[in-house]
Amino acid sequence: MNNLDLSYAKIAVIGSGTMGIGIAQLAMVNGHSTVVYDLDREKTKQAVEGLRQTFAKLVEKGKITDEQAQQAVSRLTIADQIEALTNVDLVIEAVVEKLEVKQALFQQLAAICSEHTIFASNTSSISVTAIAAGIPHPERMVGLHFFNPAPVMKLVEIVQGLKTPIDLCQSLKSLMLAWHKIPVLTKSTPGFIVNRIARPFYAEAFRALQEQVTTYDQLDYALKQCGGFAMGPCELTDLIGQDVNFSVTQSVYEAFFYEPRYRPSLIQKELVDAGTWGRKSKQGFYRYDEKNQYLTFQPQAIVTQSFQVDVQVKGRWSQLPGLLKRLALHNGTQNQENIIQIDDIDLRLSQGESANLQYLSRKTVLMDWHHNFTQAQAVVLSHNLLCQADDLAKIEAFFSQYQINVVWISDHPALLTLRTIVLLINEACEASLHGIATMEDIDNAMRYGVNYPKGPYQWMMQLGAQYVLQTLDNVYAIYGEEKYRASLYLKQYVAKQQSVTAGSSKNLTECA
């Protein structure tokens, strides 16, 4: 299939739910003759009326002109029978997420449409290869996964099934760029990019709760404050719906033949079983009022304390470039461990260790990573059993001088933010190992699909691949669980970096 120019394609959208009507709106606004079909005619009628109101609001806000709104609406046709889709160029289905329903729909379409009609599924997790099975000319089947709400969210995953030619994917990429979207190309694999790589964001949060490391609201605060995430995992799953998020996790877990990395959480299952699904049930992790407002964690007001301690710095602290500047401290030497010694207490940036299992002879406090220490409002810390109340007070007083709050949690390897991020990186590396998508597309998918502050590979470059690998190795050594095993792709990446560095050093020596 050669590259197609879809600039003037006639588009059919099947399904008049929120997603379907949102896709139709995009097609109409971007100049396409658009047909909407749904078995439920009353639902379609209501959806179209809602679409007209949406255009009226856009005009009122000055986003589009009245003329543009009228032109867009004039491009819309409502189909009462599926046979009305015979002459369209591109069909996008947005029906229920069931394989048998989608297969039956496309088999019905194949009987009435030209063999050149492109079939696209808005599926978020079902195999495009499986949907195409049994359909004449399966090479025309492709995934076109929009994110909700489709008119607002930038990302579109273009999913290549086993028989989908890359030319078709590139044609749809050009179309999505014309629609001002950010398209990413992915192989048809469970969860595609976003719903696969995002699993650790939820799984590690629920694990911390199950291990009684912290509370749900404190956890959310830590991920937002230290990680820079817009929402914490408990808030986000309450918004998505605990039942929906749990179902996606189960689907990915089963599709990967029960790969331990995707195992669902008993913490979340309890919420689902209890019917506490989040905002829509007015209770999930949080309780919601009539306006969907809820109480979040707020650290105590900082009381600056004056005290005298001996502070010594070891190491460069390169993973937290703003820390030493914020604390008005000077670098130690390059080859030393990263330690800020406060009297007889060692403050260390976590690299996946356990404070209690690995630091048996010195008072040790482990600190979580922070995405922007120059503006940090709080740090998340844990400590070993040797630290007493006076030691903890001393650490709190030290940070209070710089208007930084201390949030204490139980000993937890790699703490909260660092652990989440290195596992997101590791999942991205697994996707790269299997050729699912490029590094750039993976980063774009996570930034624009779930609004992460950075993509996994951007985090890896910031932290350093060797640091990420060492952190994963340390966590793996403690738990001994397959889910924490470092990806071969990450190991190979680090080895390549070390080889290049060694080669450069050798060349410099020879030149000298």
Q: Which amino acids are annotated catalytic?
A: 124, 145, 157, 195
DSSP SS3 for 453: coil
Q: How many CA atoms lie within 13 A of 109 on its CB side?
A: 32
DSSP SS3 for 230: coil
Q: List the helix and strand counts (H, then E) for the chain.
A: 20, 14
Smallest CA-to-CA distance from 437 within 455, 453, 422 is with 455
Residue 54's Cβ-count burial label (10 Å; 0-12, 13-18, 19+) is middle
Q: What is the dihedral of CA 161, 162, 165, 168, to 10 degrees?
A: -10
Residue 213: partners with Cβ closer than 8 Å, 6 or more residues away: 409, 410, 411, 412, 416
For residues 255 and 283, give the distance between their C-alpha atoms in angstroms, rounded to a whole number. Answer: 30
Based on its alpha-carbon atoms, the radius of gyration of the chain, rounded to whole angstroms, reads 26
| Tokens encoding 300 | 């105590």
Helices assigned H by DSSP within 301-341: 323-326
Phi-psi region of 349 (alpha: psi -120 to 50; beta: other; left: phi over 0): beta
Contact 451, 152 (CB under 8 A): no
Residue 287: partners with Cβ closer than 8 Å, 6 or more residues away: 294, 295
Backbone angles phi, psi at 54, to 5 degrees: -60, -45
Q: Hey, what amino acid is at 455?
A: G
Contact 104, 25 (CB under 8 A): no
For residues 331 and 310, give the distance between their C-alpha atoms in angstroms, rounded to a whole number. Answer: 16
Rounded alpha-carbon distances, angstroms, from residue 287 to 218, 267, 281, 292, 340: 15, 17, 9, 8, 40
Contact 195, 252 (CB under 8 A): yes
Smallest CA-to-CA distance from 369 within 217, 264, 212, 226 is with 226
Residue 119: partners with Cβ closer than 8 Å, 6 or more residues away: 91, 93, 106, 109, 110, 132, 135, 140, 141, 142
Contact 195, 347 (CB under 8 A): no
Q: Hey, what amino acid is at 424?
A: L
Smallest CA-to-CA distance from 395 within 378, 411, 410 is with 378
